[in-house]
Amino acid sequence: MPNPEPTASAAGRSTALALASLARLSCTIAALPALIGNLAGWRRHAAAFAAGALSVLAMAPFHAWPVLFVTLPSLIWLLDGVLGHSIEGKGAWRTAVTLASLRAAAAVGWWFGFGYFVAGLYWVGAAFLVEAKTFAFLLPLAVTGLPAALALFYALAAVLALPFWRSGAYRVLALALSLSAMEYARGHAFTGFPWNVLGYALTYPVSLLQSAALFGIYGLTLIACLMLPAPLVLLAAAPAGRRRQLMALAIAVLPPLLAASAGHLRLARATPTEVPGVKLRLVQPSVPQAEKWRPENQEWIFLEHLRLSANDAAGNPDGLAGIRLLIWPEAAMPFLPLDHPPARAAIGRLLPPDTVLIAGALRAEMAPEEGQGRRFFNSLLVFGDGGRLLAHYDKVQLVPFGEYLPLQSTLEALGLEQLTRRRGGFATGPFPRPLLHLPGLPPLAALICYEAIFPTAVATGGERAGLLVNLTNDGWFGNSTGPRQHLQQARVRAVEQGLPLLRAANNGISAVIDGYGRLLVQLDLDQRGSADAALPAALPPTPYARFGDGIFALLWLAGAGVLVLAGWRRGRPSAA
């Protein structure tokens, strides 16, 4: 019988070496709070900016989310320095908040957010170079003004956390609660812009992505802001305490490991199911944005969509044989197709009798107010046999300064115009968004362009959708991180709802995504062509689909209760 003692001894030595290495590392980490917290003036702001900018590496396409194990603790230590608590391990402390410390904290939060959004949204500037003669002068304002405005949410998060600042893990909880609340506010205030919400850090790889079905992106944001900074903060607080070291190691390893394991099990149990008899084709024409809206290019762009539609993925003509659903991207036709009978006739000749075309296009109708002329919509149009219009959806969530101007008439009088150069801007469609009911297809929820980044955009009242269709034109932003971030956020919507998502882009990234967030078919940036796939079936409603952000609200309230209770207990007078 083999002797187990050598194995046990070796395991013991390995454990001891690991703990010794962790002890040395924690001693090194112990110097960081003083090093970072003692920064002042421009050095403090530069450090906050750098930490925010590095945090973007946690997002697509890098997905290096462990960087937040360092950058979020850095934000905490910078806020410690604001309050004069740059060195831990010398007994418990609580804050004495002053107006000066609130201002300093707001500055730290703002600089962190400014770095995060400058690095994460730099690609917005590319849109202003499409018509450089008209819009290039606005580029510096675009790449700094939008991040500066969004950074105000992070400044407010720092201010809200400061009154609850306590030693140890309490301030991690305080910041997690305030940051997640402000990320939620960022997604809703002033029409909302929840791009790169911090919770997206925990949506890669696909096994981790499965947790979005339970928590949604805002729930994941709270978890990320709590879990990721805690290990380093705990290690720095007690470098010589083995119990604290083990706790830090457990927090760093166990939650993501458990989430990934649960996600892996969910995927392993998944059985691929398809909607019977529905084969679809995505078309990605990859038309350069600078060429798209020139009047002389309208015909060849339309003909190119027809040509790509009639060919399979290998480029062989097949006349759409066996294709039930054909999908073109946002604004596929750079004209008003409903006002253009020859275009509708050409679509009718393209489509076999049982095939429908979903296409992005502009739509116009008479305004209800007398004397206002026609109003224009960024729409999804559904064409059937003979080019008949079967249904339409008008975009609800318009892009500020892209599809409309705030104070439209005033700013137009000053000579400004939005990037689409549509005077008067686009009109918005009805809300709540109607589902489209098409023959032979599940109820369809349409999402045009960045509507896919809004978790609540697919909520359509009592009836549940069976399919999400996202038409977009990411050609505005070139070969940058923007289209890749957009794709990842669309994947999260599919997992949140447990619904397949069909994404057709003018220039990347088109994809068929199932309810587990898996990319079944993909057309990359700058790839012109078509792709065929079966239509994945919808999954049963996920917890997020049933309860929405109520799960996030419950988690947030539970955390707030813990924070308030901890403050009350620490503030009680000692017994005589």
Considering 330, 403, 451, 496, which one is annotated as catalytic? 330
* Ranges of H-type helices in 310-402: 341-350
Residue 412 appears among annotated catalytic residues = no
Considering the domain architecture, whether residues 192 and 298 belong to the same structural domain is answered as no
pLDDT at 411: 52
Does residue 395 have an active-site annotation? yes
* Tally of CA atoms within 13 A in the half-sphere of 503 that contains its CB: 39
Asked if residue 112 is part of any domain, the answer here is yes
AA letter at 269: R
Peptide bond into 334 cis (omega under 30): no
Q: How far apart are CA 491 and CA 518, in angstroms?
A: 8
Q: Catalytic pick from 88, 225, 403, 449? A: 449
Q: Which amino acid is at 87?
A: I
pLDDT tens track for 454-486: 998 876 567 899 999 999 998 888 899 999 999
Specify whether 198 is located in the same domain as 279.
no
CA distances from 257 to 69, 211, 225, 398 (A): 15, 12, 17, 39
Question: 43 and 136 share a domain?
Answer: yes
4 inside domain: no
Max mean pLDDT among 133-137, 241-245, 413-417, 539-543 falls in: 539-543
Helices (H), 432-549: 481-497, 543-547
pLDDT tens for 90-146 read: 456 566 788 999 999 999 999 999 999 999 999 998 877 777 777 777 788 888 999
- Ranking 63-67, 247-251, 329-333 by mean pLDDT, the lowest is 247-251
* Residue 298 C-alpha from the chain's centroid: 33
* C-alpha span between 200 and 176 (Å, rounded): 15
Q: Are residues 360 and 468 in the same domain?
A: yes
Opening angle at CA 344, ends 342 and 350, nearest 5: 105
Establish if 405 belongs to a structural domain: no
Helices (H), 83-169: 99-121, 132-135, 139-161
Determine the Cα–Cα distance for residues 109 and 338; give it in Å rounded to an integer: 50
Q: Please give the tally of structural domains in the chain.
A: 2
> Does residue 219 belong to any structural domain of this protein?
yes
Catalytic residue list contains 292: no
- Which residue in 395, 403, 451, 496 is the catalytic one? 395
When mean pLDDT is compared across 98-112, 384-398, 403-417, 519-533, the lowest value belongs to 403-417
Tell whether 237 and 301 lie within a shared domain. Answer: no
Query: How many helices (H) and strands (E) in the chain?
Result: 19, 11
Q: For residue 263, what are the domain limits?
A: 15-267+550-571
What mean pLDDT is predicted for residues 314-332? 96
